[in-house]
Amino acid sequence: MKKLVLSLSALLLAGSALAADPVFPKGPTNKITLEVWSWVPGLDKTVASFEKAYPNIKIKILNLGGGPATYTKLQTAIKAGAGAPDVAQVEYGFLPAFADTGGLADLSKYGANDYKKYFVPWTWGQVSPDGKAVYAIPQDTGPFAMVYRDDLLKKYSIAAPKTWADYAKAAATVKAKSNGAVKFGNFYATFAPWFMALAWADGGQFFKRDGDGWVQTLNNPAAKKSLNYWNTMIKKGEIGTLVGFSADYWNAAGAGKLATNMEAAWGPGGYAGSLGDKSAGMWRVSPLPQWTAGGSIKSGNWGGSSNVVTTQSKNPQAATLFALWLNLSSTAITADWNNGGLFPASDAGLSLPALAVTSKNPSKFFGGQNISKVYAEASRGVNVNFEWAPWFPFVNDNYTKQIDRMLKGQLTPDQALDAWQAESLAYAKQNGFTVK
């Protein structure tokens, strides 16, 4: 079998870090097939362009729908040593758990680090925590901004809050003027990454590598400040706790019973798709409120995913090529935005013309506002030094348990975070992790 010809560093365009399309590696001289597990809508149309550019590579897509079922299947295949795909889509928060199995290829061996400069810095930190090994190629992101009902804020004579102090004042005003009929915002009690993104924006660190071990601080100062802040408004009846993506949530949002929410860059697409004509054109997006007025916008991230190459791949170089093309090619980024609302991880992708089209959803739903411009600014304001731990799946589930106890009045915010820290720490140690 002829060897795959790939020379990454030699083929890069000098000084072209901001180009939409870097020069990609050459493809194989022999015909191969790559199996790809992904839940991205319309990916079959996207890969058609790849196969045209690289005719010797056939892409076989398997869409397992994402979520726990997909991850369980992937973990099972990795542990069994057979049945894993060449490339798989994995969310950032769950990436360390897969890297810890030893089943992911280190893409630095195939020149991936030569493409680091093309990505928004914080996204590369998610896939290469130590700056050396590269466990995946960043795909999409979920930087935080605030969505709001422009009609409601005008009705109650409120400007879009620029600080959290402004936000709290506005929440009190809306409750008073609406006699409690309208909640100013909503707290997601069942999504740990949503809450963590708020603390992330304030410099909060939940996990950090410490030599061969870890340090976990789920009850860090930023987390305590944020949870106490939100719990105060919840107790006053100014903020709701509707389950995200539920019928109750969408009904409240569409009926004008909810004025704002903190949403990731992929969130507006959900509003357009779930609400349809209901409240269409009434929504807008503004930067995430800040703890300190003035200065650059700081944000956190909720969601987003990457593309890993498994050690079971017989063609890891070609698989790396595909992952790079999928996330740096303007053709692929544009298609993934149009078909699935994937917000780019590449720096140049944030400026692609397709994201600025306001005559189509989600921008059309948001009154024709160029919402991607707001989210691009948010992405560039995400703290680079944020890490996830391999036992995050447990942390994610335990968050719901502790927040539920807080909402029932059984725990104070500080106690809820302390319990979250203690139970997650115990779990990590019981499962063999060196952590303090």
- Could you report the per-residue pLDDT of 388-410, keeping only the tens digit for each? 999 999 999 999 999 999 999 99
Give the span between the Cα atoms of 208 and 383, in whole angstroms.
14
pLDDT of 234 strictly over 70? yes
Does residue 179 share a domain with residue 50? no
User: Do 384 and 122 form a contact (C-beta atoms < 8 A)?
Assistant: yes
Is the backbone peptide bond immediately before 129 cis, with ω within 30 degrees of 0? no
Q: Where residue 20 falls among pLDDT bands split at 50, 70, 90?
A: low
Q: Which of 332, 356, 380 is the last residue of a domain?
A: 356
Mean pLDDT of the chain: 94
Distances (CA, A) of 308 to 139, 326, 341, 386: 10, 12, 20, 19
pLDDT of 290 strictly over 90? yes
User: Do 402 and 419 form a contact (C-beta atoms < 8 A)?
Assistant: yes
pLDDT of 6 strictly over 70? no
User: Do 252 and 183 form a contact (C-beta atoms < 8 A)?
Assistant: yes
pLDDT of 8 strictly over 60? no
User: Do 370 and 356 form a contact (C-beta atoms < 8 A)?
Assistant: yes
As a whole-number percent, the residues of the chain with pLDDT over 70 amount to 95
Give the span between the Cα atoms of 386 and 126, in whole angstroms.
7
Number of domains in the chain: 2
**pLDDT tens digits along 167-178:** 999 999 999 999
Does residue 187 share a domain with residue 287? yes
For residue 417, what is the domain's CATH number?
Answer: 3.40.190.10
Does residue 253 share a domain with residue 311? no
User: Do 254 and 279 form a contact (C-beta atoms < 8 A)?
Assistant: yes
**pLDDT tens digits along 106-134:** 999 999 999 999 999 999 999 999 899 99
Dihedral of CA atoms 87, 93, 97, 102 in degrees, nearest 10, equals 40
Give the span between the Cα atoms of 116 and 308, in whole angstroms.
15
Q: Helices (DSSP H) in 298-412: which residue ranges?
A: 316-328, 330-340, 371-379, 392-407
Give the span between the Cα atoms of 275 and 277, in whole angstroms.
6
Range of the domain at 421: 143-300+362-430
**Residue 340: predicted pLDDT:** 87
The sign of the CA dihedral 375, 380, 386, 387 is positive
Q: What's the average model confidence in pLDDT over 136-153?
A: 98
Q: Which of 356, 386, 421 is the last residue of a domain?
A: 356
Phi, psi of 32 (to 5 degrees): -140, 165
pTM of the model: 0.92
Does residue 296 share a domain with residue 308? no
